[in-house]
DNA sequence: AACCGCTCCACAAACGTTTACATCCAGTTG
DNA sequence: CAACTGGATGTAAACGTTTGTGGAGCGGTT
């Protein structure tokens, strides 16, 4: 039999109410009693029953993270940071993978919002409307997306793109291709906005290679388009895409970085292991997860402005970028 | 206000007990009533409160997975499979990352075993004793470890090693180095056992390069030892280690596969993206996660023999292995 | 001596379910 | 016709906690 609050109460001759309050650290119970109760609880190995607690408080003991793909190391890092922070707060972390499928995401959201009252959504695919609906029922924090009225944590997309392009321009590139992510991606739209905001000197231009799935397969298509467009450098929406670009360029005999420079985004762990190591924008993924969880744990007072956190990113120059040929 | 079982009961003029039974599909309630209740519940958007249910049934609604590192794609794949299966069963998946730290693992286990009654442990570091203790309190399934009396799901380690070595021998290698994993690793001990069981023809030998942390850093050390030992091929404990070996060999100007062959284990997604693509043993990671969860969901009758599932693995020959020089 | 105010604690209600047991009614049997 | 049977439903207890309300004890003031 597992020890309940009643056992603790009996053990130190007080009522269960006192035990509850003592363990909660309420100052209303005398310091001596509090200590005595703590002692007894520790000795008996008492663990409060979460279900019972949740039933009465209404507040859940877990925070859920919904992400499109655990195999993508961007998201697994976010998950790592998130669960670390959540666990440190004595709560439990739930994680759901939607397999990049918007329908699956809907379903997961329905299911999860009934179980959990605090949700972190990484790169949600659902509509703004569904999102605000959801926020009625749960506390929600968005990752990689911003929406007025909702808390969010994102990397500084525009600045990351600016760093990439500036780097390439400095190397002497004049025609740079942008291999975009899915058109539904909020991050992609921000990165495009960043591109548009850049004041390019005369004779230098950014070529839009199109929108691609953020996968290696997408990168293959992008690489061919880059060659056809005659650019000397490609800025990819993210590292996954860049990986595909790199692979395809190798296949087609285009030397990187001699004939073509490639820059990614995210700095997934593999990026530095590739041949050549990938120049890419480092995003503090673990910190994103931690901050998102933090927002839900240190529950802000109701009417305070919802935090929209933007974390700074930093270009990691490696060997996949170099001056253009000639 | 969220709709409770009482609302449903009122809506169709029955008692809450009937609603509970109807929704559970109990045949004791008349088919007509059952349908009427279902209808009403659906219309009202009724979602049973899990905390309340858990409180009375004692059975938890979630299954937890404990793993050493979410950033390692072996584990994130296992997590993917696990949570997929768990969610399909209408339960929720919790995931905890121990950062490869045995102390953290202990702590996590303590914490989690109080919250959850079904646990999946991937590559647990804790002692056999602690593990059997834990199994008293929770249903436990082990991944990458076997223990008499506990359910487990593992890849066929010995056979994977056999495939690797056979492949290298067939290519003509005569001195092959084994870069082992941590000595506390159950998988490593199985792989070593697999090595020992191999009947090597005369003039061919396996050199034990030692035990290394399953990280890139470990691989660096292993690579230097391999060169010193004069082997023409290295079989690494896993892909992480192989990555380090590959990197270090490149640094030291040893051409792979011309001067040295390298074989990994796990077939993480990056393996095929490396230069050269890594020959490695493919382990069905997602399936491992699914099967482990399945064992806990399709709860076997108490006294049936505990399943110890061994999944087959398959060598993927890529470009990092080739005939030895000369 | 009566009263007040304070601190510390106990009592009991509530949270939303599941489930053992009681009840009721209609139909069947002796 | 009374007693019984058994299927369908209702009643109420229990799960382990949190928390509002009230009361005991006590030192100090009038």
Residue A212 belongs to a domain: yes
CA distance A309 to A300: 14
pLDDT at B300: 58
- Asked if A55's CB is within 8 angstroms of B51's CB, the reply is yes
The answer to whether the Cβ–Cβ distance between A77 and B70 falls below 8 Å is: yes
CA angle A98, B290, A80 (to 5 degrees): 55
Would you say residue A300 has pLDDT above 90? no
Chain A contacts of B55, Cβ < 8 Å? 49, 51-52, 55
Instruction: Please report the pLDDT score of residue B306 as a whole number.
Output: 80
What is the average pLDDT score of chain A?
A: 91
Cβ–Cβ gap B70/A80 under 8 Å: yes
A57: CB within 7 A of chain D nucleic strand: yes
Least confident of A45-59, A157-171, A232-246, B295-309: B295-309
Could you tell me if residue A205 is inside a domain? yes
pLDDT tier at B193, thresholds 50, 70, 90: very high
Residue B305, pLDDT score: 65
Euclidean distance between CA atoms A237 and A195, whole angstroms: 12
User: What does the pLDDT average to over A56-83?
Assistant: 92
Name the closest residue on chain A to residue B46, using Cα atoms.
Answer: A114
Residue B282 CA neighbour count, 13 Å, CB half: 11
Greater confidence (B258 vs A301) lies with B258
Q: What is the pLDDT of residue A212?
A: 95
In angstroms, what separates the C-alpha of A99 from chain B's closest C-alpha? Answer: 9
Q: How many helices (H) and strands (E) does chain A have?
A: 12, 12
Residue B299 has pLDDT above 80, yes or no: no
Q: Is the pLDDT of residue B145 over 70?
A: yes
User: Has residue B151 got a pLDDT over 70?
Assistant: yes
Write the pLDDT tens digit of every residue in A223-254: 999 999 999 999 999 999 999 999 899 989 99
For residues B57-63, give the mean pLDDT: 84
Mutation to test the A interface, candidates B61, B69, B76, most A Cβ within 10 Å = B76
Task: Express each pLDDT in B75-102 by its tens digit.
Answer: 999 999 999 999 888 888 999 999 989 9
Mean pLDDT calculated for residue range A302-313: 82
Mean pLDDT score, A261-271: 94
Nearest residue to C18, CA vs C1'?
A: B56
- pLDDT of residue B7 exceeding 70, the answer is yes
pLDDT band at B201 (very low <50, low <70, confident <90, very high): confident
Residue A100: left (phi > 0), alpha (psi -120 to 50), or beta?
Answer: left
From the CA of B75 to the C1' of D6: give the distance in Å: 56
| pLDDT at site A304 | 60
Separation of CA B28 and C1' D8 in angstroms? 8
Cα B198 from chain centroid (whole Å) = 26
d(Cα A194, Cα A158) in Å, to the nearest integer? Answer: 4
Closest CA to B65 of B101, B104, B112: B112
* Residue from the list B76, B87, B115 with its beta carbon closest to the beta carbon of A50: B115
Q: How far is A244 from chain B (nearest CA, A)?
A: 9
Is residue B253 in a domain? yes
Residue from the list A47, A69, A93 with its beta carbon closest to the beta carbon of B96: A93
Instruction: Rounding to the nearest 10 degrees, give the CA dihedral for residues B116, B118, B124, B127.
Output: 90
DSSP reduced 3-state for A63: strand
Whether the per-residue pLDDT at B123 is higher than 80: the answer is yes
The pLDDT value recorded for residue A216 is 83
* Overall average pLDDT of the B172-187 stretch: 95
- Best-predicted range by mean pLDDT (A27-31, A113-117, B95-99, B213-217): B95-99
Predicted structure pTM score: 0.87
Convert the pLDDT of each residue in A176-210 to its tens digit: 999 999 998 999 999 999 999 998 888 899 999 99
Average pLDDT over residues A133-157: 93
Q: How confident is the model at residue A269 (pLDDT cuts 50, 70, 90)?
A: confident
How many angstroms away from the CA of A268 is the closest CA of chain B?
Answer: 10
Tokens of A316: 């990691």
- pLDDT, position A34: 87
Nearest nucleotide to A32, CA against C1' atoms: C8
Of A10-14, A304-308, B278-282, the least confident: A304-308
Report if residue A10 sits inside a domain: yes
Among chain B residues 10-39, those with CB within 7 Å of any atom of strand D = 13-18, 21, 28-30, 32-33
In chain B, % of residues over pLDDT 70: 98
- CATH (domain of B231): 3.40.50.2300
Q: Is the CB of A11 under 7 A from strand C?
A: no
Which one of A233-237, A301-305, B145-149, B212-216 scores highest in mean pLDDT? A233-237
CA closest to A89 among chain B residues: B111
Average pLDDT over residues B291-314: 83
Chain A with chain B: Cβ pairs closer than 8 A: 116
Between A150-164, B90-104, B291-305, the lowest mean confidence (pLDDT) is in B291-305
Using pLDDT thresholds of 50, 70 and 90, give the confidence band for residue A167. Answer: very high
Q: What is the pLDDT of residue A31?
A: 85
Paired tokens of B223:
């690579």
> Given this model, what pLDDT does residue B304 score?
60
Note the pLDDT of residue B294: 94
Q: Is residue A95 part of a domain?
A: no
Domain membership flag for residue B214: yes
Under the banding of pLDDT at 50, 70 and 90, the label for residue B182 is very high
Has residue B49 been placed in a domain? no
When divided into structural domains, chain B yields a total of 2
**Chain B, nearest residue to A3 by Cα:** B114
When pLDDT is averaged across residues B245-250 and rounded to a whole number, the result is: 92
Confidence at B117, pLDDT banded by 50, 70, 90? confident
Distance from CA of A146 to the nearest CA of B (A): 26
What average pLDDT score do residues A300-310 get?
73
- A217 touches A244 (CB < 8 A): yes
Cβ–Cβ < 8 Å for A229, A251: no
Rounded to 10 deg, the angle between the A157-171 and A186-197 helix axes is 50
> Which CATH number does the domain housing residue A11 bear?
1.10.260.40
Separation of alpha carbons A247 and B266, rounded Å: 22
Residues in B touching A1 (Cβ below 8 Å) = none
Q: Rg of chain B over CA atoms, in angstroms?
A: 25
Which domain does A170 fall in, by range? 157-284
Percent of chain B that is helix, strand, coil (3-state, to 5): 45, 20, 35
Q: How far is the CA of B11 from the C1' of D6 (A)?
A: 28
Confidence of residue B301 (pLDDT cuts 50, 70, 90): low
| Range ranked top by mean pLDDT from B163-177, B260-274, B289-303 | B163-177
Beta bridge partners of A207: A177
Strand residue runs (E) in chain A:
62-67, 92-97, 118-122, 139-143, 151-155, 175-180, 205-211, 233-236, 261-266, 279-282, 308-311, 314-316
Residue A72 in any domain: the answer is no
Strand D bases contacted by the protein (CB, 7 Å): 7-12, 14-20
Residue range A96-142, pLDDT digits in tens? 999 989 999 998 898 888 788 899 999 999 999 999 989 888 889 99
Tell me what pLDDT residue B273 has: 81
């Amino acid at each position: 039999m597992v020890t309940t609050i009643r056992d603790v109460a009996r053990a130190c001759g007080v009522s269960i109410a006192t035990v509850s309050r003592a363990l909660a650290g309420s100052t209303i119970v005398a310091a001596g009693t509090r200590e005595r109760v703590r002692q007894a609880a520790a000795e008996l190995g008492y663990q409060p029953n979460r279900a019972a607690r949740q039933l009465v408080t209404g507040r859940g003991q877990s925070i859920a993270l919904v992400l499109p793909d655990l195999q993508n190391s961007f998201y697994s890092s976010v998950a790592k940071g998130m669960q670390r922070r959540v666990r440190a707060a004595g709560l439990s972390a739930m994680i759901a993978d939607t397999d990049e499928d918007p329908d699956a995401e809907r379903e997961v959201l329905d299911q999860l919002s009934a179980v959990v009252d605090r949700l972190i959504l990484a790169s949600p695919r659902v509509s703004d409307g569904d999102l605000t609906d959801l926020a009625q029922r749960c506390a929600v924090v968005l990752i990689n997306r911003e929406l007025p009225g909702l808390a969010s944590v994102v990397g500084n997309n525009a600045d990351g793109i600016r760093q990439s392009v500036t780097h390439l321009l400095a190397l002497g590139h004049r025609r740079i291709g942008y291999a975009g992510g899915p058109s539904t991606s909020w991050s992609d739209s921000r990165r495009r906005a960043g591109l548009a905001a850049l004041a390019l000197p005369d004779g230098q231009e950014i070529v839009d290679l199109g929108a691609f799935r953020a996968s290696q397969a997408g990168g293959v298509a992008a690489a061919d388009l880059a060659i056809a467009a005659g650019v000397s450098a490609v800025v990819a929406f993210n590292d996954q895409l860049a990986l595909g670009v790199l692979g395809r360029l190798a296949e087609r005999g285009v030397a990187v970085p001699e004939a073509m420079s490639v820059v990614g985004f995210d700095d997934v762990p593999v990026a530095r292991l590739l041949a050549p190591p990938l120049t890419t924008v480092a995003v503090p993924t673990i910190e994103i997860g931690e901050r998102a969880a933090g927002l839900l744990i240190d529950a802000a007072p109701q009417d305070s402005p919802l935090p929209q956190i933007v974390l700074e990113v930093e270009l990691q120059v490696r060997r996949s970028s170099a001056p253009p040929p000639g």
